Each structure stands twice: as C-alpha cells, then as structure tokens.
Amino acid sequence: MTDERAVEELLKEVEQRAKVCIACHLAQTRTHVVFGEGNPRSPLVLVGEGPGEQEDLTGRPFVGRAGALLDRALREAGMGRQHVYICNIIKCRAFTIENGRARNRPPTADEIQACTPWLDAQLTIIRPLVIVCLGGPAASVIIHKNFRIMQERGQWFTSRWAPAAIAALHPAYILRQAGPAFDRAYALLVEDLKAARAKVIELKQRQQAQQPLVPPDEEQLSLF
Ligand code: SF4
C-alpha cells in the first residue's frame, strides 16, 4: 500500500465517523455534514468557517457564491481545487431564523470546541506544510485565540498543525463589500494565496535540501 492510499483511507475512515456525529446541537438541523474535500496529499490546506446553505445542501465545502470567488482567487494565484485540500472549522451549518428565513451565523465557542476533534484528525492525517485560514474564526482556532483578522491577515505564524499558517479575508466577507472596497479586499485574498503558494515552494525546497536521498514527488513539484 502506498503512503498516498494510506492517507486517503485514513481520511475516509474519519469522514465516515464524522458523517454521523451528534456531538453538538447542529446535528439536529443539518442536511449534510460537510467534512472537506480536495487533494489529501497537498501541502496546502485551506480552512474556512463553516458550511452555508449550498454547502449544507450538497455536502461540499465552498460551492456557493463565496466558493466561486475562492475558485477565481485560486486561479489568479496559479492554483485550482485539485491542488489543495479545503475544509472548515465546523462541519455542520450554523444558522438562525430571521423573518422566516435561515441566515448563516458565526459558530459559537461551544460548537467550535465540539467540532475541533474532526479538524484535528483531518490535519493530523494530512500534515500540511502551510494552512490558509479563511476569516477570523478559522484563524482563532488554527493560529491563536485572539486573532484580529484586519490587523494580522497576511502575516506568517506557526500552528500546532503546520509549520506555517497565514490568514486571509473570507470570500463571503469580500462579497459583502462593494466597489473599490471589494476590489481591495479581493486583491488581498489573491495576494495571501500567492504568498501561501510561495511559502509551500520555499518549505519543500528546504525539506528536499535536508533530505537529498528522498526522491522528489513529481506531481507536487509540477505545481509547488
Ligand atoms: S458541527 Fe461538528 S461537532 Fe457539531 S454535530 Fe456537526 S460534526 Fe458534530
């Protein structure tokens, strides 16, 4: 069995258990557990806040308007979904009912705490070199508790799950901006994704310099 198959099988096993999770009350209102998807062998993992309406309906992360904006930003940074792994800090949709309509809301501290073991299991299996936190809540889990997204985005940190972590603006936040504010926020997202890609390349080169006898992974080298 290759290492690749081992990673995928381990991740699948965790996903099967997460799909029946009832560790918090969000289990009562979800349609699907949105575990995460992408390349589990990627050195680059993107972590968002939680599923929205479209994600809850499809079971896939970042498939709504925010997902389309993320895809565009990834393309501008020279990447595609197939090159990264994407997940969220909570796996079920958090929402409130306002005027008869379900509106997304940030996850509570209790919900995040209940769900973090799934994120921990994912990241422990994938062992990324670089994590991009999309938005402040993800950065509060991955980087440090009192993370301030506007002040600290674009800076490099270490994380218990990766040697390098950076936070970027969440695509859903960018979509709420208009005109020049939208353009500025979107440009920052692209800039941070480009920085993340460059950091992966830098760390892989450092790893390979330290381990000259390990054959390079052709697939990964083609992008990073
Ligand atoms: S949000 Fe996380 S902890 Fe809560 S039920 Fe869903 S998978 Fe379980």
DSSP, collapsed to helix, strand or coil, labels residue 131 as strand
Among residues 75, 49, 76, 81, the alpha carbon closest in space to that of 171 is found at 49
Measured N-to-C along each axis, helices 3-18 and 109-126 cross at an angle, to the nearest 10 degrees, of 160
Total residues belonging to the chain: 224
109 by Cβ neighbours in 10 Å (0-12 / 13-18 / 19+) ranks as exposed
Among residues 167, 170, 46, 30, the alpha carbon closest in space to that of 111 is found at 30
Spatial distance between the Cα atoms of 224 and 221, rounded to a whole number of angstroms: 5
Spatial distance between the Cα atoms of 199 and 194, rounded to a whole number of angstroms: 9
pLDDT tens-digit map of 131-146: 999 999 999 999 999 9
Ligand 1 centroid vs 216 CA: distance in angstroms?
38
- Which sequence spans correspond to the domains of the chain? 3-210
Spatial distance between the Cα atoms of 108 and 82, rounded to a whole number of angstroms: 31
Ligand 1 centroid vs 30 CA: distance in angstroms?
9
156 by Cβ neighbours in 10 Å (0-12 / 13-18 / 19+) ranks as middle
Mutate-to-test residue for ligand 1 from 108, 111, 141, highest number of ligand atoms within 8 A of CB: 111
Mutate-to-test residue for ligand 1 from 30, 56, 115, 116, highest number of ligand atoms within 8 A of CB: 115
Mutate-to-test residue for ligand 1 from 14, 19, 25, 26, highest number of ligand atoms within 8 A of CB: 26
Tell me which CATH code domain 3-210 carries. Answer: 3.40.470.10
One-letter identity of residue 120? D
Ligand 1 centroid vs 67 CA: distance in angstroms?
21
> Tokens in use for 24?
């918090």
pLDDT mean across residues, the chain: 94
DSSP, collapsed to helix, strand or coil, labels residue 30 as coil
Among residues 159, 161, 155, 142, the alpha carbon closest in space to that of 196 is found at 155
Ligand 1 centroid vs 92 CA: distance in angstroms?
6
Instruction: Tell me the mean pLDDT in the region 80-86.
Output: 96
Q: How confident is the model at residue 2 (pLDDT cuts 50, 70, 90)?
A: very low
Give Rg (Cα) of the chain: 17
**Atom number in ligand 1 closest to CA 18:** 7
Atom 4 (ligand 1): residue with closest C-alpha? 24
The neighbour count for residue 223, using CB atoms within 10 Å, is: 18
pLDDT tens-digit map of 153-170: 999 999 999 999 999 999
Q: Are 124 and 161 in contact (CB under 8 A)?
A: yes
Q: What is the pLDDT of residue 213?
A: 57
pLDDT tens-digit map of 3-25: 656 999 999 999 999 999 999 99
